[in-house]
Structure 1
Amino acid sequence: MLISLFLALGALLVQPLCTASPLNGPTSQTPLHVSASQPRPLVIWHGLGDSYGSPGILEFVSMVKDMHPGIFVHSVYLDKNLEEDQRATFYGNVNEQVERVSAQLANITELQGGFDAMGFSQGGQFLRAYVERSNSPPVHNLVTFGSQHMGISDIPGCRPWDLLCQAARRAAQGGVYTQYAQEHLVQAQYYRDPARLETYLASNRFLADINNEAPGAPNATYAANLATLNTLVLVLFLQDKTVVPKESSWFGSYAVPEPEPASASAAAKTIVPMRLQPLYLGDWIGLRTLDERGAVVLETCPGEHMQLSNDCWQPLARRFVGGLVDDATFVVP
Structure 2
Amino acid sequence: MRLPRELAFSLLLPLTSLALPTLEADQIPLSSPASALVKNHTNVRPLVLWHGLGDSHSSPGMLKFANLIRDVHPGIFVHSIYIEENLDADQRAGFFGNVNEQLEGVSQQIAGIDELKHGFDAIGFSQGGQFLRAYVERYNSPSVHNLLTFGSQHMGVSDLPLCAPGDVLCQIARRAARFGVYSKYAQTNLIQAQYFRDPDQLSTYLEVNEFLASINNEVANAVNNTYADNLASLEHLVLILFSEDKTVVPKESSWFGSYEPKDEGAVALLPGAERPIIPMRLQPTYIADTFGLRTLDERGAVILEVCEGEHMRISEECWKPLVERFVGAPL
| TM-score past 0.5 threshold | yes
Q: 1:268 to 1:98 in 2, by over 3 A?
A: farther
Amino acid at match of 2:328: G
The count of residues paired between Structure 1 and Structure 2 equals 290
User: 1:308 is matched with which residue?
Assistant: 314
1:70-116 Cα offsets, whole Å, 9 max, x none, are 10000000011000000000000000011110000000000000000
Q: 1:230 to 1:49 in 2, by over 3 A?
A: same
Q: Distance in 2 between matches of 1:229 and 1:191?
A: 26
User: 2:149 is matched with which residue?
Assistant: 144
User: 2:324 is matched with which residue?
Assistant: 318
- More strand as a share of residues: 1
1:156 is displaced (CA, Å) by 4.5
Q: Distance in 1 between matches of 2:220 and 2:295?
A: 22
User: 2:224 is matched with which residue?
Assistant: 219
Counterpart secondary structure, 1:39: coil
- 1:177 corresponds to 2:198: no
Counterpart secondary structure, 1:164: helix
Counterpart secondary structure, 1:232: strand
User: 2:121 is matched with which residue?
Assistant: 116
* Match of residue 136, structure 2, among 113, 131, 137: 131
Amino acid at match of 2:194: Q
Q: Distance in 1 between matches of 2:96 and 2:251?
A: 23
1:268 is displaced (CA, Å) by 7.0
* Match of residue 287, structure 2, among 281, 287, 299: 281
Amino acid at match of 1:275: R
1:159 is displaced (CA, Å) by 2.4
User: 2:109 is matched with which residue?
Assistant: 104
Give the unaligned 5+ runs of structure 1.
Answer: 1-35, 326-333
1:34-62 Cα offsets, whole Å, 9 max, x none, are xx961100000000100001000000011
What is the root-mean-square deviation in Å for CA atoms of aligned residues?
Answer: 1.4
1:169 is displaced (CA, Å) by 1.8
Amino acid at match of 1:241: K
TM-score, normalisation: structure 1:
0.85
Counterpart secondary structure, 1:38: coil
1:181 is displaced (CA, Å) by 0.1
Q: Distance in 2 between matches of 1:217 and 1:149?
A: 19
Query: 1:172–1:181: 8 Å Cα contact kept in structure 2?
Result: yes
Q: Distance in 2 between matches of 1:221 and 1:131?
A: 10
- More helix as a share of residues: 1
Q: Distance in 2 between matches of 1:217 and 1:184?
A: 23
4+ runs deviating over 6 angstroms: none
The residue correspondences of 1:80-99 to structure 2 (distance < 5 A) are 80-99=85-104
* Match of residue 48, structure 1, among 53, 73, 77: 53
Q: Distance in 1 between matches of 2:161 and 2:329?
A: 35
Structure with larger Rg: 1
Amino acid at match of 2:281: R
Give the unaligned 5+ runs of structure 2.
Answer: 1-40
The residue correspondences of 1:159-198 to structure 2 (distance < 5 A) are 159-198=164-203
User: 1:241 is matched with which residue?
Assistant: 246
1:206-260 Cα offsets, whole Å, 9 max, x none, are 0000000125141000000000000000000000000000000000000111111
- 1:294 corresponds to 2:275: no
Q: Distance in 2 between matches of 1:295 and 1:214?
A: 25
Q: Percent of aligned positions with the same letter in both sequences?
A: 64
Query: 2:121–2:147: 8 Å Cα contact kept in structure 1?
Result: yes
Q: Distance in 2 between matches of 1:54 and 1:158?
A: 21
Amino acid at match of 1:304: E
Q: Distance in 2 between matches of 1:65 and 1:115?
A: 15
Query: 2:215–2:227: 8 Å Cα contact kept in structure 1?
Result: yes
Q: Distance in 2 between matches of 1:268 and 1:199?
A: 24
